[in-house]
Amino acid sequence: MRKIGILTSGGDCSGMNAAIRSAVRSGLRNNVEMVGFRKGYVGLMKPDYITLDSKAVSGILHRGGTFLQSARSPEFRTIEGQQQALANLKNLGVEGLIILGGDGSLTGALALHNLGFPVIGIPASIDNDIPFTDMALGVDTALNNIIYAVDCIKDTASSHARAFVIEVMGRNSGYLASISAIAAGAEYALVPERDFDLSEICQQLRARYEEGRDNAIIILAEGAGNAHQIADSIKDAIGFETRVTVLGHYQRGGAPTVFDRLLASRLGKNAVDLLLKGEKGLMVGLSNNSIITTSLEDVVKGEKKPHDEMLRLAEVLGI
Ligand code: F6P
């Protein structure tokens, strides 16, 4: 294989740059020309691309986001968009493509594979909702961002004897909420994977304040309810001041953690190795600290296993 393309698609996350750097350096070491498409599938359809030499990827390992930029592209969901991308890849002499992104982006990768183009996917989404990988890129950094914010909020919450509802991202997944609630010592994690009874929570919160505790942290997964409505119900029921903090896109940025830098470096190199071996239509992932591959078809059809052990742990810890 003489030329490999790489793109980042969907919501960005920390670790994307580190994965691009690793893939580029692995490709160059094997005398493969590397090109990066800008803004995900948008750049593939235009085409909008840059040549990636070793210098182009220096100084990016520690930076959050993606220097190739990212986008969500409804046009690429159409067969016309996919055919346009395919024609551009052929004209440019690109023989393989590495795609970083979440479930929507990997569905796009499968579409290209089904049209006969060699593709390898890398799971990258803070939601950690992609099946066949224990962790996706960006999850660990997002969790660390959340923990930092919750610790700060806890300080001010206790100074004012307030309850806080802190909304975290995750789309339909409660992974970020349950893990951060465990790691930050929150009182509750409200997640889509587990039913909750708000009136029972309010009773427990009231008892908590009566016992003399000076704060309560409720971490809400964005897919589990409306933060302001929940905060209003809590305030009315317990009679204590309640505030809402929506952490939003803060969670997605920042320097990647060691875990994300290492995972990104492993996945980037492995993606190139697979293409050079003639493998295609696969996603590289992490299982029991080993790099594994799964067909993109299984990834797209599959469902992420609920994080049952963590949910049980949360219960035992009274969350
Ligand atoms: O999928 C990643 C994610 O950050 C979700 O957690 C969130 O719901 C969504 O993307 C936000 O999308 P956007 O950046 O387009 O607002």
Least confident of 17-21, 100-104, 156-160, 209-213: 209-213
Spot the catalytic one: 127, 129, 140, 260: 127
Q: Whose CA is nearest to atom 2 of ligand 1?
A: 11
Q: Given this model, what pLDDT does residue 237 score?
A: 84
Q: Given this model, what pLDDT does residue 150 score?
A: 98
- The arithmetic mean of pLDDT across residues 40-64, rounded, is 97
**Among candidates 16, 9, 122, 11, which has minimal Cα distance to 61?**
16
**Tokens describing residue 266:** 């492993």
Q: How far is the CA of 319 from the centre of ligand 1 (A)?
A: 25
Asked if residue 126 has its Cβ within 6 Å of ligand 1, the reply is yes
170 marked ligand binding residue: yes
**Among candidates 203, 204, 205, which has minimal Cα distance to 163?**
205
Over the stretch 64-118, which tens digit does the pLDDT of each residue have? 999 999 999 999 999 999 999 999 999 999 999 999 999 999 999 999 999 999 9
> What domains appear along the chain, each with residue ranges and CATH number?
3-138+256-304 (3.40.50.450), 140-252 (3.40.50.460)
Partnered with residue 295 across adjacent β-strands are 282
Q: Given this model, what pLDDT does residue 91 score?
A: 98
Nearest-angstrom CA–CA distance, 268 and 24: 8
Q: How far is the CA of 289 from the centre of ligand 1 (A)?
A: 27
Q: How confident is the model at residue 306 (pLDDT cuts 50, 70, 90)?
A: confident
Q: Is the pLDDT of residue 40 over 90?
A: yes
Q: Identify residue 8 by its one-letter amino acid code.
A: T
- Complex-level ipTM: 0.98
Q: Is the pLDDT of residue 238 over 90?
A: no
Q: How confident is the model at residue 124 (pLDDT cuts 50, 70, 90)?
A: very high
Q: Is the pLDDT of residue 165 over 80?
A: yes
Residue to mutate, 14, 42, 126, 176, ligand 1, most ligand atoms under 8 Å from C-beta: 126
Q: Given this model, what pLDDT does residue 72 score?
A: 95
To the question of pTM greater than 0.90 for the whole model, the response is yes
Q: Is the pLDDT of residue 209 over 90?
A: no
